[in-house]
Chains A and B, each alone.
Chain A
């Protein structure tokens, strides 16, 4: 049976295609120019060189920045999970005065412009006397690590709290009824039940930390993060190397999304 031509359906398809173009055409341009065989980014495209990736591979500052960003993102995930998961449990399981207000306040770092969070954290760390470069070169600096952790904990709290609200508490009762103490019940029943939310939040925190600029800008010490390094390069104009690094990040993000959706498919 052949579908008849329907103007409304055609219009919808056109709109959908336009949206996809709008979102992905810039990415395509970046990818194409990363293999563009000329130092100046201009028509006509001369595709078919990997030399900008070669330049990238020998750019010490860029690699240092990338390593710093990865360390920062991993530490931000550790802090945000370490504070956020217990926080979500407290919100779900206990009643305390001011709980409703706290539930809204915990979202504040997400809503607040990064520049405000950045300024306030900067004055806080100078108030407590923590140097922006403390911890360097092992980590990019404690203030920026703590700053990312603090700003992104709310992501974990909201995601995990939402999952806990839907979690069937009878499962925990069943576990307790079958001789498992609280600790074993947590590891064997509760945690597997909220694992998708915990992993999802971790991935989100990792991604948000990786491309964070506003808070990072205020708190960074001696070592630039990747977004700041790229931003610094751009001040001298868009170089083909920037297109190469953007393409690498794009490819890694794509890989993460694919891995993530495969992981989620096996979850309940």
Chain B
């Protein structure tokens, strides 16, 4: 499921030669398969995020690239050279650790200088490069402090400076913002993205936070059970999820159980029957022809913000409730069970026929919020109702 997605256009699609390439990378811990033959090509200069729940294999992948663990099988190519057998200190990558792993017995400056000194860079160059790196992360004045005298956010910046001072071509980041509070995390997300663009370093970033991934990444590899479930740009994953798991993991969505009935009334649309008997024409993901076979049991994913709720009997311009129009709209009939106020929107919970239910984001400014118990129609543009794999 990974190879075809590599062709999906990211912002740096022009760079053909991958800077890091994983081929059939596998890691077993005893009987547990942590990583199941994944293949992935990382483009020079891109911000690639390995996203997934805990145990999905994202950290394992990063540790294999860094060299902290040894792969059971497969290759790790850096600039075309297999480095899988090299120890970490011989690999041209640097890492920002989750808990920062700053050396507690050294000053901030010595921490940052460590990598340069190990590579026997001239003392004068070490001084200037360390000062530059500390300035870059706005810690120029704190070089003499011990790490424990710094706040979490400052320690995070030291960890970053300690890695980028070595001018690696690839920087590995293992949940670097995980220990920070929400506000600081948001600020650091932008900061990291700015640094990445400014320095032109390839970032391989591990996180379990889908919002973080969407904010920063050029491409996201969503991992599940040691495999890459979907690889693509944030928009790809959000708007064209390949599977029910992706649709559910990235953002909020409504999932309706569906059976494929045949081709839709227009190209690109496919007709499905959802639980409760309604027939809908929905969009088919560009690369999932296997889903289109009649009788396939699958799911339809519709984002809450793609839905509008209309009181029944209100003129809508859609003549066939419960059905579809070529290139038109998906319409579902139901009853409001709850309307939950959430600031700028109201989350309207609607029960549909056949035990299904959906949540629609309603903007109170545009129309009155339907009251619980009222019969409504929920509508979405057909191209925003996606057929996804089970």
The interface of chain A, by Cβ under 8 A from chain B, is 168, 170-171, 173-181, 184, 188-189, 192-193, 268
B89 touches A181 (CB 8 A): yes
Identify the closest chain A residue to B119 (Cβ). Answer: A179
With a cutoff of 8 Å between Cβ atoms, the chain A residues found around residue B115 in the complex are 177-179
B105 touches A178 (CB 8 A): no
A177 touches B88 (CB 8 A): yes
What is the CB-to-nearest-CB distance from B69 to chain A, in angstroms, rounded to a whole number?
10
With a cutoff of 8 Å between Cβ atoms, the chain A residues found around residue B95 in the complex are 173-174, 177
Identify the closest chain A residue to B97 (Cβ). Answer: A170
B187, CB-defined interface residue at 8 Å: no
With a cutoff of 8 Å between Cβ atoms, the chain B residues found around residue A268 in the complex are 104-105, 148
Contacting residue for A176 out of B87, B105, B148, CB 8 A: B87
B119 touches A173 (CB 8 A): no
Across the A-B interface, the 5 shortest Cβ-Cβ residue pairs: A178-B115, A170-B101, A179-B118, A174-B101, A176-B88
Size bracket of the B interface:
20 to 34
Contacting residue for B105 out of A175, A177, A192, CB 8 A: A192
With a cutoff of 8 Å between Cβ atoms, the chain B residues found around residue A180 in the complex are 89, 114, 118
Given known pairs A184-B118, A268-B148, the reply for A177 and B94 (CB within 8 Å) is yes
With a cutoff of 8 Å between Cβ atoms, the chain A residues found around residue B67 in the complex are 176-177
What is the CB-to-nearest-CB distance from B30 to chain A, in angstroms, rounded to a whole number?
12
Contact with A along B107-130 (1 / 0, CB 8 A): 000000011001100000000000
B341, CB-defined interface residue at 8 Å: no
B166, CB-defined interface residue at 8 Å: yes
Contacting residue for A173 out of B93, B101, B166, CB 8 A: B101
B162 touches A178 (CB 8 A): yes
With a cutoff of 8 Å between Cβ atoms, the chain A residues found around residue B163 in the complex are 177
With a cutoff of 8 Å between Cβ atoms, the chain A residues found around residue B104 in the complex are 171, 193, 268
Q: How far, in whole Å, are A88 and B68 apart by their CA atoms in the complex? A: 22
What is the CB-to-nearest-CB distance from A75 to chain B, in angstroms, rounded to a whole number?
29
What is the CB-to-nearest-CB distance from B129 to chain A, in angstroms, rounded to a whole number?
13
A178 touches B94 (CB 8 A): yes
With a cutoff of 8 Å between Cβ atoms, the chain B residues found around residue A184 in the complex are 118
B101 touches A181 (CB 8 A): no
With a cutoff of 8 Å between Cβ atoms, the chain B residues found around residue A179 in the complex are 89, 115, 118-119, 166
What is the CB-to-nearest-CB distance from A35 to chain B, in angstroms, rounded to a whole number?
45
Q: How far, in whole Å, are A253 and B387 apart by their CA atoms in the complex? A: 80
Contact with A along B202-228 (1 / 0, CB 8 A): 000000000000000000000000000
Interface residues of B in 69-113 (CB under 8 A from A): 87-89, 93-95, 97-99, 101-105
B51, CB-defined interface residue at 8 Å: no
A-B contact pairs, 30 of them (CB 8 A): A170-B97, A171-B103, A171-B104, A173-B95, A173-B97, A174-B95, A174-B97, A174-B103, A174-B162, A175-B103, A176-B68, A176-B89, A177-B66, A177-B67, A177-B68, A177-B93, A177-B115, A177-B163, A178-B94, A179-B89, A179-B115, A179-B118, A180-B89, A181-B87, A189-B103, A192-B103, A193-B104, A268-B104, A268-B105, A268-B148
Q: How far, in whole Å, are A83 and B104 apart by their CA atoms in the complex? A: 27
With a cutoff of 8 Å between Cβ atoms, the chain B residues found around residue A175 in the complex are 103, 114
With a cutoff of 8 Å between Cβ atoms, the chain A residues found around residue B98 in the complex are 170
Identify the closest chain B residue to A185 (Cβ). Answer: B89
Contact with A along B327-343 (1 / 0, CB 8 A): 00000000000000000
With a cutoff of 8 Å between Cβ atoms, the chain A residues found around residue B93 in the complex are 177
With a cutoff of 8 Å between Cβ atoms, the chain A residues found around residue B103 in the complex are 171, 174-175, 189, 192
Given known pairs A178-B114, A178-B166, A179-B119, the reply for A171 and B101 (CB within 8 Å) is yes
Identify the closest chain B residue to A171 (Cβ). Answer: B101
Identify the closest chain B residue to A178 (Cβ). Answer: B115
What is the CB-to-nearest-CB distance from A211 to chain B, in angstroms, rounded to a whole number?
33
What is the CB-to-nearest-CB distance from A54 to chain B, in angstroms, rounded to a whole number?
47
Central interface residue in A168, A176, A184, by most chain B CB within 10 Å: A176
With a cutoff of 8 Å between Cβ atoms, the chain A residues found around residue B66 in the complex are 173, 177
Identify the closest chain B residue to A191 (Cβ). Answer: B105
Q: How far, in whole Å, are A188 and B103 apart by their CA atoms in the complex? A: 9
With a cutoff of 8 Å between Cβ atoms, the chain B residues found around residue A174 in the complex are 95, 97, 101-103, 162
Interface residues of B in 40-73 (CB under 8 A from A): 66-68
Interface residues of B in 162-182 (CB under 8 A from A): 162-163, 166
What is the CB-to-nearest-CB distance from A223 to chain B, in angstroms, rounded to a whole number?
42
Q: How far, in whole Å, are A173 and B115 apart by their CA atoms in the complex? A: 12
Q: How far, in whole Å, are A268 and B104 apart by their CA atoms in the complex? A: 7
With a cutoff of 8 Å between Cβ atoms, the chain A residues found around residue B148 in the complex are 268
With a cutoff of 8 Å between Cβ atoms, the chain B residues found around residue A193 in the complex are 104-105
What is the CB-to-nearest-CB distance from A219 to chain B, in angstroms, rounded to a whole number?
40
B89 touches A170 (CB 8 A): no
Q: How far, in whole Å, are A178 and B66 apart by their CA atoms in the complex? A: 11
Identify the closest chain B residue to A180 (Cβ). Answer: B118
What is the CB-to-nearest-CB distance from A266 to chain B, in angstroms, rounded to a whole number?
10
